Structure 1
């Protein structure tokens, strides 16, 4: 049924409102607003593969929002990327409605899409009902504790999801309990990115025991947070008991010497971890010495990054000497970047190279290239 006729002024006002909701200013065509991102995806997805997506389009118009052209162009592609779109409430509702019935999407990229708590709750319910999505990126939005609870609950229901990125969402200790429940309940989750949030020492005390009991997670990035004091120690104790994690990034926190000591104790017991980044953690020579105690017996760690710590040459020496004294050490890379070392360290490095010729050592003076710094992140099957 055709709606009541509108004057040109009314039509113009409606078009302006729809354009604003859709994420581009009035008067700018959709092709123009999308030109930058379309150029990035044209080669991989093909603009000729246009999808009608009637359900999504109808849902958008019903809510007064224009459908995102990039959604229509991506068709049945396994990756749906709407990053930097400013979806807002109407866009989130329309997208959620379309996701429920979409069997093609495996990777959902909504990084920096202007999503807030209520929007994420709506999308979380859609994800829980979609059995094809296995990779979700909600970084650089504003989840909040309530939305984090809804998302973690939906991921617990949908055990298909294997990779989740929640970087830069202002997550605080209130969200830590929900994240801990996710670690305990979601046994299929392989990779979790919590970097650039505000998880503090209380959050560390909550997440540590959950990490100890987690079964399945192989990669965890919790860098650029506020883990320090008792929280850092509790988190490290969780690492001690974990038997699945292979890659851990705790850089740019405040572990300090107590945290470094706890990590050293964890490394003495943990026989799974392969990559550990602890750069910028206020670790002095004393903390480095205690960290080295674990390296004397650890047999699995390949990469250790402790750059930008105030451990000076003495601390670097202690870590390297521990590796040299461990005949079963698997270390391939020791990264002391931005730490100046003395001649005594250089002599130790030379003698260690005789024993471990494949060992790569980075310092402020020596920046040799290392080809295998990170394990490849396999796409969820």
Structure 2
């Protein structure tokens, strides 16, 4: 009996030991498998952890433990099934673990390392011509790109008259020209850009420091366009020539430009012809001309300057010491304007080319105008055609020039003026003197044709 009990006791020991081992393994599994593998290794999602790589699938409701001292055959079967499941799913489990590891590495590199490089941003190649910017701007403003502009935007001189750009097309053009470094002369005459397009060109010229000549004639800029371009001239230091002819500029628009001319010293040529500038604008422009120190050529042809405006403009000319060319043709200077210009020529010693044709100047005004020609030393070309000065006025001009030994006159234009035989004789003498190079003045015009026809 004793022996039987002893054998029974010995036979029971392995099962008890197995129970103890199972409890130990269960505790280790609850602690995360600390004793079975290093903590740095990632655990499998379905592993409970064991020394000999035997694992048991962990489920939400399937976790249970056998009572103390009870040997569970079902537990052994579960362990066997766990081994089979591990073998079957080893490939997928390891792949998932590797993918998680890769994700962790990428996340760590993004968070742990500081860098100035933006890996997600791809820098586009530099486009010196601005074609890419132009196409993008056309898409933004919903206009069709101009193929002529794309072909020639790399030239030093670009002429795009009558292309019908409109306000939106002008905006797209201006966007691409901001960074253009090759274009020097730009002609956009007659493109219906209006005030909005003119404002876009003004903003472009504030940034572009290469363009030197711009023609924006016949674009209906109006007061809005004139105002924005005037503000541009206060900042731009490279533009030397600007044409704003035929843009419906009235007195208020001219006032904006007059304020600019008193400060700008870089602009050399300004064309304001074919507008509606009147007496009020003539007065403010006269003051601006007197103060300006940069303009060399100014055109105010085909405007409405007369009376007090003409007198104020003439006084400004007398105080100016930089202007070389002045075009006042097709205005209404009349007698008062001609007299004021004669007084201005007494003081001005820089003007070389003066055009006062078609200004309704009578013979009295022409004779008073000659008072300045008697002492002026710089005028080389004078155009007085299409004025009703008659023979007396033409004769008086010729006599004044002949009486000035220091006169620099080279060309006189008396086109479409009726004269008599006395003036023709004097003109013939003048022409002979010119051919002999003893006197520099040449008289031109169509007056002699009319005289011969009525002879």
Per the normalisation by structure 2, the TM-score is 0.68
Number of residue pairs matched by the alignment: 318
In structure 1, the gaps of 5 or more residues are 1-50, 368-381
- In the TM superposition, what are the counterparts of 1:360-375 in structure 2 within 5 Å? 360-366=442-448
Selected match of 1:222 from 300, 308, 312: 300
Q: CA deviation at 1:364?
A: 3.0
Q: Does 1:258 align with 2:336?
A: yes
Shift of 1:128: 0.7
Larger Rg: 2
1:277 aligns with 2:359: no
Single out whichever of 340-349 and 327-336 deviates more from structure 2: 340-349
1:153 to 231, 255, 267: 231
- Aligned with residue 412 of structure 2, among 334, 344, 358: 334
User: Which moved further from structure 2: 316-325 or 340-349?
Assistant: 340-349
Q: After superposition, give the CA deviation of every residue in 1:125-150 in whole Å (9 maximum; x if it has no partner).
A: 11111011111110001111122111
CA contact 1:340–1:363 (8 Å) conserved in 2:
no
Q: Give 1:107's aligned residue.
A: 185
Q: Are residues 1:80 and 2:155 paired?
A: no
Distance (whole Å) between structure 1 residues aligned to residue 301 and residue 425 of structure 2: 33
Q: Give RMSD over aligned pairs.
A: 1.7
Distance across 1 between alignment mates of 2:363 and 2:282: 24
CA distance 1:121–1:317, change in 2 (3 Å): same
Counterpart position of 2:272: 194
Alignment of 1:89-104 (within 5 A): 89-104=167-182
Question: Residue in 2 aligned with 1:299?
Answer: 377
Report if aligned partners of 1:341, 1:363 keep a CA contact under 8 Å in 2: no
Residue-by-residue CA offset, 1:260-288 (whole Å, 9 max, x unaligned): 00000011111100000110000011000
Correspondence list, 1:312-351, <5 A = 312-351=390-429
Q: Is the 8 A contact 1:338 1:364 kept in 2?
A: yes
- State the SS of the aligned residue for 2:288: helix
- Which has the bigger relative contact order, CA under 8 A and spacing at least 6? 1
Q: Distance in 1 between matches of 2:193 and 2:279?
A: 27
SS in 2 for 1:317: helix
- Counterpart of 2:245 in structure 1 is 167
1:349/1:90 Cα in 2 relative to 1: closer, same or farther (>3 Å)? Answer: closer
2:215 to 137, 153, 166: 137
Tell me which residue corresponds to 1:127.
205
Closer, same or farther: CA 269–52 of 1 in aligned 2, 3 Å:
closer
Helix, strand or coil for the counterpart of 1:76?
coil
Q: Is the 8 A contact 2:141 2:172 kept in 1?
A: yes
- Partner of residue 440, structure 2: 358
Instruction: Name the counterpart of 1:57.
Output: 135
Residue 95 of structure 1, CA deviation: 1.2
Range with bigger deviation, 339-348 or 190-199: 339-348
1:27-81 C-alpha deviation (Å, 9 max, x unpaired): xxxxxxxxxxxxxxxxxxxxxxxx6811111211232211100111104111233
Matches within 5 A, 1:13-52: none
Determine if contact 1:93/1:119 at 8 Å carries over to the other structure. Answer: yes
Q: C-alpha displacement at 1:85, in angstroms?
A: 1.5
Q: Secondary structure at the match of 2:189?
A: coil
Residue 320 of structure 2 is aligned to residue 238 of structure 1: no
The separation in 1 between residues aligned to 2:160 and 2:443, in whole angstroms, is 41
Corresponding position of 2:325: 247
Q: Which moved more, 1:315-324 or 1:177-186?
A: 177-186
CA contact (8 A) 1:341 1:364 kept: no
- Give TM-score, length-normalised by structure 1: 0.80
